[in-house]
Structure 1
Amino acid sequence: MTDAFDDTAALIVIDVQQGFDDPSWGARDNPDAEANVGRLVQAWSDASRPIVLVRHDSRSPGSPLAPGSPGNALKDVVADAPHDLFVTKHVNSAFYGEPDLHAWLTERGIRQLVICGIQTNMCVETTTRMAGNLGYDVTLPIDATHTFDLEGPGGVRLTAAELARATAVNVQGGGFARVVTTDEVVGA
């Protein structure tokens, strides 16, 4: 599948931050997510393709992702990763961050995106949906993401695995992206 990407295909790495190791998030899925993100970063670096790192700077009081807190820092797997752009954001979509991701991609003629990171059903899914709406050709290696169990209205609780499955259905079934594995992207 690597041949399916042109030389400008950008890897967007979302919110791979220390704060997501905080136990307050609850049970998570996919213990291999960070290793798969690392494999993608290495493949993109080896191919000299553009890499965009995104960091969530939470404005919520007490958040483990707040600027200045240890949890705001990127995890080791990406902390020293080569990158062409570093975006900070306060909301779910990397397209509403600084600097302007869409403008940066457009200026460089980048039309293909591979999106990975944390959380599957939050910032990764939101960015993926927006990318699809903006007309990008988007690939989502779902095993290079992870999320946490979540409770919704009326006490309904979904496991992280159920939420990841729902994201896969939402983004591919909705025509926003192709959902694949890391192996399919790196050709391992």
Structure 2
Amino acid sequence: MSQVQLGPLGIWVGAAATFVIALVTVFVALGWFERFRAARFTITFEHRQPWCRPASPGSAELLWVRIGVENRGRQTARGCVGRLIAVTTEGAPRQDIDPVQLRWAGVPRSRAFDPLDLRRDQREFLNVLVLAKDSRWRIVTFDAPDFDPGFTTELTAGQEHVLEVAIYCDNTDTDTVACRLSIDAAGHPHEPRLTFTASPS
């Protein structure tokens, strides 16, 4: 049986195979393939339920305002935490309000501040604001006596407030969203809307 002599073609095929193997090795080392499988957040808000949730009858609260956080990536988003990182009122940054952690909805209050794992296509809601029966809006964070912030957690009616919320995770990039909320003099929301400043995922 005669043998096929590839000659220069064999050299080129071998070189191409070596190059492809080296390229794949580099991609793996840099984590490029993991980026295609990484967790990826979609943050949503609409001026209706379940984003704006009326409180239960007899409760001291009237309305909860939340953002939806959904993992649209292929991997589980591990250790997700939501924090309010900045507040602006009438265009002026609020120096009198520190960053605070926000509370997850849909879990017992004892675990509402614990880091949360979001599996593929899983959506959870993060409480941002609550309207009390006394028509006062407040940021949904730790309650007294566990928390003594030394600054106000209430927002004044009759003004426009922009709340910047960040979603942190152990295995993907941080996403941020700006929640613009206008509150009329009676303390009710007026056309709340979201603008997105999501970091690359």
TM-score higher than 0.5: no
TM-score, scaled relative to structure 1 = 0.24
For the pair shown, which has the larger CA radius of gyration, 1 or 2?
2
Q: Higher RCO, 1 or 2 (CA under 8 Å, sep at least 6)?
A: 1
Structure with the largest fraction of strand: 2
